[in-house]
A and B are shown apart, each in its own frame.
Chain A
Amino acid sequence: MIPASPALVLALALGCAAALRAPKPVGALGGPVHVAPGRSAAELLAEARAALERRPDVAEVRKAESLFVAAAQVDPAGVEGLYGAIEAKVWLIDHDRAADRGALARSAVDAGQWCLRRAPSSAWCDYGLAQALGMQAQEERSTALDGLKKMVEHLRRAAAEDPSIDSAGPERVLALVLVRAPAWPLGPGDPETALEEARKAVARAPDFPPNPLALGETLLATGATDEGRAATKRALALAERSAEPDAKEWVKDGKALLERAARPVDVGAAR
């Protein structure tokens, strides 16, 4: 499991192309991988998860991506493989310098759409599609406006279905989208609602470092500088003690946020 974190950078471009289109077949969503005949979806998922845990080894995450897709093919009703493929693709977009990032983002959106076709009320599928749309907005900026609006819709659905997944992931990612997206009326940006969502995420999973990190970012964006710094320092302390594979990135994000907090915040100046 890769928790969605502030590394999920959002595009702020102004494009207006449709973010969703007819998805490619599931079999076309992964890279080449040798799968021995007769292997079950459960076996493939277990191998994929083990490979994903070996990040930041890029080759292992690529392998995980393909194994997740293979599992989704073997079990035509299952969604774990599709969500896992999205996780792997999102991670590769951020870390694999050799990757075709746009193609990865498009295929992540396709995986999210297949996931929802198989399980229309699955919080994981809504959450996965939302993350994929965010990455696509970043990589293909023409889809940003439509993509960000749909991303918010799917995150709200995921939060309504099961807010606890991925350590309060739907509320955390919703907070990050709302605080980083273009402001009303162009985009869904709304720092005050972002702060409410970040508070919910922290209340649900207070010791998961990306949650206080999101709270710190939203507090800083709404002008609560001291509180924002405190939340960020708490996130940093938690991240430094964490044994998660992504802990180093959380530490880096926390330090960058504190550095930003040291600079003046533009929340409107009197004239």
Chain B
Amino acid sequence: MRVAAAVVLAALSASALAADPARASRPVTLVACAPGQPGTTAEAQPGMDALASAAARAAGWPAGALAAVYEPAERDGLVRLGRPDAAAALVPLPFVVKHGAALKLVPRLEVVTQGAREPGEVWTLVARRGRVASPAALSGFTLSSTAGYAPAFVRGALASWGRLPEDVRIVESSQVLSMLRKAAKGEPVAVLLDGAQTAALPSLPFASELEAVARSAKLPSGFVVTVGERLPAARWRALEKALLALPSSPDGASALRGLQMERLVPLEPAALQEIRRLRGGSR
């Protein structure tokens, strides 16, 4: 795995040397895209500006060399990532599973979410108590999740529990509460919750009507990725160092807090293995 990653980096470096020299100093944009999460582009912009400013300062880049923008919707994120200045991105695991290959997203750093000590989170499948004893019991169900836009992720995350029936209807919905209510009422609905949602579940008044029927392994939450070969290797190295150092400066720590992140950490090889496994939707 480490060899493979090194080969990728070497290939990027080589192509960078052969590429347009102007690329070495061109302003670049970090695109954050988190389908199913709250907030609009405009509302998130102050936080994104803070992140770009702190990272650029730490990298020793001039003002304006790095911008950051948030696109909450999958479709808008894809459009924004299609623009040539979009050289890096901050995206959740399901997004990488679904679009990583097509967009040539190269995972570089892993996100440690606010309040967590290490990267990663466990996803939990929740259904009405006593209703779902095995994957087969989900036949004809709607399986809702904020990650429902990436069905391969959903199937892959639950693969250790068993294979989901083909007729499970996987849907994306940010209305998690509404779907949980439906499940609690006995409708054929199950909900795949992320780590934060799972932690908050006991606080719901109808929590006793629900039960966790399956849990994923600990999976990466999100990544900083580079996009194709848009960021020359030397510039990425400077940006990587800056992003890793964010918690050690007041503005960097504040920028991370504003985006609900504790810190960014170097990518573990196991994370790449997980991505490959989840792309296949398999165990």
Contacts and interface: CB of A to CB of B under 8 A. Distances in A.
Interface of A: 11-15, 141, 182-187, 189-192, 222, 266-271
B170 A187 contact: no
B43 A11 contact: yes
Contact of B171 (A182, A190, A268): A268
A267 B39 contact: no
B39 A182 contact: yes
Contacts, number: 72
Given A192-B178, A268-B175, A183 B38 contact: yes
Contacts of A14: 39, 47, 258-260
Nearest to B204: A184
B177 A190 contact: yes
B258 A185 contact: no
B150 to A, nearest CB: 8
Contact of A189 (B38, B43, B171): B38
Nearest to A190: B177
B46 A184 contact: no
22 contacts: A11-B43, A12-B38, A12-B40, A13-B39, A13-B46, A13-B47, A14-B47, A14-B258, A14-B259, A183-B174, A183-B176, A184-B176, A184-B200, A185-B203, A186-B38, A187-B38, A192-B178, A268-B144, A268-B172, A269-B172, A271-B148, A271-B170
Contacts of B197: 184-185
B226 interface: no
Name the prevailing secondary structure of the A interface residues. Answer: loop
A267 B38 contact: no
Interface of B: 38-40, 43-44, 46-47, 73, 144, 148-149, 151, 169-178, 181, 196-197, 199-200, 203-204, 258-260
A268 B169 CA distance: 11
B262 to A, nearest CB: 14
A112 B144 CA distance: 41
Contacts of A182: 38-39
Given A12-B40, A186-B38, A270-B169, 16 more contacts: A14-B258, A14-B259, A183-B176, A184-B176, A184-B204, A185-B176, A186-B196, A190-B177, A190-B178, A191-B175, A192-B178, A266-B73, A267-B173, A271-B148, A271-B149, A271-B151
A120 B148 CA distance: 46
B72 to A, nearest CB: 10
Nearest to B144: A268
Given A15-B258, A186-B38, A187-B38, A267 B175 contact: yes
B171 to A, nearest CB: 5
Contact of B178 (A15, A191, A266): A191
Contacts of A11: 43
Contacts of B260: 14
Nearest to A180: B38
Contacts of A12: 38-40, 43
B176 A270 contact: no
B28 to A, nearest CB: 25
Contacts of A268: 144, 148, 171-173, 175
